[in-house]
Amino acid sequence: MLKNLLKKNDATNATTGADTKAEPVKKIDLTKPLIKDAIAQGKAIIKDGKSKADAARAIYAVIKDEPKEVIVAAFVEGATLSYPISGVET
Q: Read off φ and ψ for residue 89, nearest 5 degrees.
A: -140, 140
46 falls within a domain? yes
14 belongs to a structural domain: no
pLDDT at 82: 84
Give which of 15, 40, 17 is closest to 30, Cα–Cα.
40
Number of separate domains in the chain: 1
| Domain enclosing residue 65, as ranges | 22-89
Q: Give the residue among 18, 60, 7, 53 at the shortest CA–CA distance from 35.
A: 60
User: Does residue 2 belong to any structural domain of this protein?
Assistant: no
pLDDT at 24: 61
Residue 10 lies in a domain: no
pLDDT reported for residue 60: 97
Other Cβ atoms closer than 10 A to 41:
18
Question: Nearest 5°: phi and psi at 82?
Answer: -110, 155
Q: Would you say residue 8 lies in a domain?
A: no
> 13 lies in a domain?
no
Give the chain's residues under pLDDT 50.
2, 5, 19
